[in-house]
Amino acid sequence: MAEMGGLINIDKRRALFRREFNLAEYLVGRSAEQLVGFLQVPKWFPVDIPSGNIRASKLKSAGSPLLNLPQEIIDTIVSTLACTSIDEDTLCLSLSCSYFFRLLASRTQVHLIRDAAPWAGDRLIYVGAEVSSYPYGIATDEEQHEWEGHGAKAMYRLADAIVPEKMRFEGDERAGERPRTLMRRVQHRLTDDDRGMLKRLLQRRMLSITDPRSSPVLRNLTTRQYIRDEVIANSDHAYSLGEVIVTFALWYDADSPTLLSQKGEWAGHRFDIATLTDVAEGWTDVSTTAVKNLEKIGQPRNNGRRALLRQ
């Protein structure tokens, strides 16, 4: 039975999908694979430049006209960028000279990571248009008051905008590719040398793709549970981790038809896609449960094999 539904990012008030769907057909359509690109956090060496090196670089950057400004003005500019989180201007200023690169390197890297995984750590829920409830405990007191004003369809009406859906077709196109909207916005302002320096100094991989520790995992940051991508990829239902999220985050009313025996185990929880090195002691592996969820809804895919997700 088809109904209107959508994947809602509660924190960013965005809907990734909002259309008529049948859950089984929806999974086969592979549009949920787009979630992978929104959630996969890159594993880069963190930038930590000693303050002494930052001060020394100012002397080497004397040719920059920006350094003719009084230091208090420079400090005000930097603190304003930090408070307002203006990622585009922070990145471009960091590339203006050696001093600003070292001064802003750590913040610029944070912006690049957020650009690569803009939904990492956000609350997600897949909800039908007619659903009149939401999971207990996912809302703050302020949100509860606001959502009551939306009436019976609060969750479905929560999104202020819809993220364009990127469909997956045959060929090399990846529906799950990283969005990288920041880099697209500043593309016309960067030289090849700028892009090379960012990649060389701020985007250095910590782990080789052949290192077992780099194996991606979907993490539920709320419940401290995780799902190994390799288990899904090597199962008879080799969907992406995006489809896995949908099966766990599906929320529906008691009388709604569904193939899942338990609704919304993870509805409204916080997620990211990290690596095995980011799974701390005490976390629970629920990869087998994820495969069982997919078995209930979807058809076997690719004869049980797909390429492993890479960092």
Round to whole Å and give the CA distance between 259 and 299: 13
Q: Is residue 273 part of a domain?
A: yes
Res 19 pLDDT > 70: no
- pLDDT score recorded for residue 175: 45
Res 250 pLDDT > 70: yes
- pLDDT score recorded for residue 16: 83
Q: Is residue 136 part of a domain?
A: yes
Give strand pairing partners of 250: 126
Q: Is residue 133 part of a domain?
A: yes
- pLDDT score recorded for residue 297: 74
Q: Is residue 216 part of a domain?
A: yes
Round to whole Å and give the CA distance between 192 and 190: 7
Res 172 pLDDT > 50: no
Please give the average per-residue pLDDT across 173-179, as a whole number: 50
Q: What is the per-residue pLDDT across 111-168, written as a single tens digit (0 to 9) for each?
A: 899 988 999 999 999 887 777 788 889 999 999 888 887 766 777 778 788 777 664 4
Confidence of residue 36 (pLDDT cuts 50, 70, 90): very high
Res 307 pLDDT > 80: no
Please give the average per-residue pLDDT across 208-235, as a whole number: 89
Lowest mean pLDDT among 10-19, 26-35, 222-231, 263-272: 26-35
Round to whole Å and give the CA distance between 44 and 41: 9
Q: Which of 32 and 39 is assigned the larger pLDDT? A: 39
Q: How many domains does the chain divide into?
A: 1
Q: Is residue 186 part of a domain?
A: no
Q: What is the per-residue pLDDT across 265-283, written as a single tens digit (0 to 9) for each?
A: 899 999 999 999 999 999 9
Q: Is residue 264 part of a domain?
A: yes
Mean pLDDT of the chain: 82
Res 213 pLDDT > 70: yes
Q: Which of 164 and 239 is assigned the larger pLDDT? A: 239
SS (H, E, C) the chain: CCEEEEEEECCCCEEEEEEEECHHHHHHHCHHHHHHHHHECCCECCCCCCHHHHHHHHHHCCCCHHHHCCHHHHHHHHHHHHHHCCHHHHHHHHCCCHHHHHHHHHHHHHHHHHHHCCCCCCEEEEEECCCCCCCCCCCCHHHHHHHHCCHHHCCCCCCCEECCCCCCCCCCCCCCCCCCHHHHHHHHHCCHHHHHHHHHHHCCECCCCCCHHHCEEEEECCCCEEEEHHHHHCCCECCCHHHHHHHHHEECCCCCCCCCCCCCCCCCEEEEEEEHHHCCCCCEECHHHHHHHHHHHCCCEHHHCCCCCCC
- pLDDT score recorded for residue 269: 97
Q: Tell me the percentage of the chain whose pLDDT exceeds 70.
A: 79
- pLDDT score recorded for residue 165: 65
- pLDDT score recorded for residue 138: 92
Q: Which domain holds residue 296?
A: 3-42+118-180+209-304
- pLDDT score recorded for residue 167: 47
Could you tell me which residues come within 8 angstroms of residue 27 by beta carbon, excluding any fewer than 6 positions away? Answer: 239, 243, 246, 247, 294, 297, 298
Handedness of CA 93, 97, 101, 102 (dihedral sign): negative
Q: What is the per-residue pLDDT across 42-74, written as a single tens digit (0 to 9) for each?
A: 988 888 888 888 888 888 887 888 888 898 999
Please give the average per-residue pLDDT across 204-214, as a whole number: 74
Confidence of residue 7 (pLDDT cuts 50, 70, 90): confident
Res 217 pLDDT > 70: yes
Q: Is residue 230 part of a domain?
A: yes
Q: Is residue 267 part of a domain?
A: yes
